[in-house]
């Protein structure tokens, strides 16, 4: 009886160790790498030629994972369909140097726990409706080095947004009520744009970046700010 117990016990221990290691190993992925940060997964994809390849990575190769960050860089993807991020759990989506021209309006609506979004170095001329549709869930948004020319009412439902970065676009006009609902907004970066007059009331701001902009200020606009950079 003692001999049987001695043989079985090591087998059970080794089996449990093997399962634990396999749960924290990233598979080999085409054009993508991944790394665990605790229980969360960060994925970095470069050189993606079509969304079907990326869909396969996110929904099949990495099925049922909780993502901390999903980076998509230097890729020839012209369209973001609803199916790409559907029903995934992602805290931060980053698209940079991607040839995106169109995004389905509901592309991010079923993404769970989405808090941050980056859409940088993308030739889009306005705030995509797909981002506005999830604005009430975002805390930080970057849309830098793009082609945005005007801000109207796209941010009206971004009620918990704390940081907004719009650096190096082609923004020449911002509607007076554009930021009215952004009561939690503390940091706004409008540097390197074409703005000549800034009229919106933004008394909640603590930091405003306006470098390389020729600008006239409205009365009281900057009263509560603790950090202003205009050079």
pLDDT value at residue 230: 56
Structure tokens at 3: 């001999």
| The Cα angle at residue 126 between residues 121 and 131, in degrees rounded to 5 | 85
Tokens of 212: 């390389």
Q: Which pLDDT band, with edges at 50, 70 and 90, does 217 fall under?
A: low
pLDDT by residue (tens digit) across 66-119?
A: 999 999 999 999 999 999 999 999 999 999 999 999 999 999 999 999 999 999
Residue given tokens 């221990």 in the structure block: 13
Burial class, 39, CB count within 10 angstroms (exposed 0-12 / middle 13-18 / buried 19+): exposed
**CB within 8 Å of 111: residues ≥ 6 apart:** 85, 86, 87, 88, 89, 90, 93, 134
**For range 178-206, the mean pLDDT:** 87
**φ, ψ dihedrals at 190, nearest 5°:** -115, 20
Tokens of 209: 């970046």
Which residue, 116, 219, 167, is CA-closest to 202? 219
Poorest-confidence range of 118-127, 173-182, 211-220? 211-220
Whether residue 229 is predicted with pLDDT greater than 90 in this model: the reply is no
pLDDT of residue 140: 98
Q: Which two tokens stand for residue 25?
A: 């190993």
* SS3 state at 162: coil
**Residue 152 carries which DSSP code?**
S
Domain ranges of the chain: 31-114, 117-231
CATH of 117-231, one of 3.40.50.2000, 3.80.10.10, 2.60.40.10, 1.10.260.30: 3.80.10.10
- pTM, rounded to two decimals: 0.84
CA-based torsion, 120, 111, 125, 156: positive or negative: negative
Residue ranges of the alpha helices (H) in 108-180? 129-132
Residue 79, beta-bridge partner list: 102
């Amino acid at each position: 009886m003692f001999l049987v117990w001695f043989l079985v016990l090591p087998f059970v221990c080794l089996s449990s160790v093997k399962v634990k290691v396999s749960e924290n190993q990233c598979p080999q992925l085409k054009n993508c790498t991944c790394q665990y940060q605790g229980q969360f997964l960060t994925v970095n994809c470069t050189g993606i030629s079509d969304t079907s390849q990326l869909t396969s990575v996110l929904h099949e190769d990495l099925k049922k994972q909780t993502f901390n960050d999903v980076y998509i860089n230097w890729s020839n993807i012209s369209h973001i369909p609803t199916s790409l991020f559907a029903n995934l759990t992602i805290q931060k989506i980053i698209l940079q140097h991607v040839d995106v021209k169109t995004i389905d309006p509901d592309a991010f609506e079923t993404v769970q726990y989405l808090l941050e979004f980056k859409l940088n170095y993308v030739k889009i001329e306005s705030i995509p409706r797909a981002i506005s549709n999830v604005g009430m869930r975002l805390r930080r948004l970057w849309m830098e080095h793009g082609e945005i020319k005007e801000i109207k009412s796209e941010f009206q439902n971004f009620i918990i947004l704390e940081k907004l970065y719009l650096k190096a676009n082609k923004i020449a006009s911002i509607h007076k009520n554009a930021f009215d609902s952004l009561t939690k907004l503390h940091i706004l970066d409008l540097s390197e744009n074409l703005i000549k007059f800034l009229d919106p009331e933004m008394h909640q701001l603590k930091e405003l970046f306006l470098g390389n902009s020729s600008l006239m200020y409205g009365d009281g606009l900057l009263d509560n700010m603790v950090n202003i950079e205009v050079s």
